[in-house]
Homo-oligomer: A and B are copies of this chain.
Amino acid sequence: MKSPSAILLISCPDRRGIVAAVTKFILDHDGNIIDLEQYVDSAANAFFMRLEWSLDGFRVPREKIAEAFAPTGREFDMTSALFFSDVRSRMAVFVTRESHCLFDILGRVESREWDVEIPLIISNREDLRPAAERFGIPFHVFPKTAENKARQEKCEIELLAKHRVDLVVLARYMQIVGGDLVAQYLNRIINIHHSFLPAFAGAKPYHAAYERGVKIIGATSHYVTEDLDEGPIIEQDIVRVSHRESVEELIRRGKDVEKIVLARAVAAHIEHRVLAYRNRTVVFA
Q: Which of A26, A196, A255 has the most chain B CB atoms closer than 10 A to its own CB?
A: A196
A283 to chain B, nearest CB (A): 6
A20 touches B27 (CB 8 A): yes
Q: Which residue of B lies closest to A265 (CB)?
A: B215
Cβ-defined partner of A233 (8 Å) among B99, B103, B212:
B212
Cβ-defined partner of A107 (8 Å) among B24, B107, B199, B240:
B107
A16 touches B30 (CB 8 A): yes
Q: Given the interface contacts A99-B111, A134-B135, A243-B39, does A214 sit within 8 Å of B200 by beta carbon?
A: no
Does A61 reach chain B (CB closer than 8 Å)?
no
A213 touches B24 (CB 8 A): no
Q: Which residues of B contact A238 (CB under 8 A)?
A: 216, 238
Does A71 reach chain B (CB closer than 8 Å)?
no
B244 touches A39 (CB 8 A): yes
Q: Given the interface contacts A20-B23, A216-B218, does A110 sit within 8 Å of B99 by beta carbon?
A: yes
Cβ-defined partner of A19 (8 Å) among B23, B43, B111:
B23
A130 to chain B, nearest CB (A): 8
Q: Which residues of B contact A242 (CB under 8 A)?
A: 283, 285
- Bound-state Cα–Cα, A154 to B58, Å: 57
Q: Which residues of B contact A200 (CB under 8 A)?
A: 198
Does A149 reach chain B (CB closer than 8 Å)?
no
- Bound-state Cα–Cα, A24 to B31, Å: 17
Q: Which residues of B contact A17 (CB under 8 A)?
A: 23, 27
- Bound-state Cα–Cα, A196 to B240, Å: 13
B243 touches A280 (CB 8 A): yes
Does A156 reach chain B (CB closer than 8 Å)?
no
Q: Which residues of B contact A103 (CB under 8 A)?
A: 103-104, 106-107, 110-111
A233 touches B215 (CB 8 A): yes
A168-212, CB < 8 A from B: 196-200, 212
Which A residues have a C-beta under 8 Å from some C-beta of B?
Answer: 16-17, 19-20, 23-24, 26-27, 30-43, 98-100, 103-104, 106-108, 110-111, 113, 131, 134-135, 196-200, 212-216, 218, 232-238, 240, 242-244, 246, 252, 255-256, 260, 263, 279-283, 285
A-B pairs with lowest CB-CB distance, top 9: A103-B107, A213-B280, A199-B199, A20-B23, A215-B236, A19-B23, A243-B282, A99-B111, A134-B134
| Additional A-B contacts beyond A16-B30, A39-B244, A213-B232 (15; CB < 8 A) | A19-B23, A19-B33, A34-B42, A99-B110, A100-B108, A103-B110, A134-B135, A196-B196, A197-B199, A197-B212, A213-B233, A213-B280, A216-B237, A242-B283, A260-B260
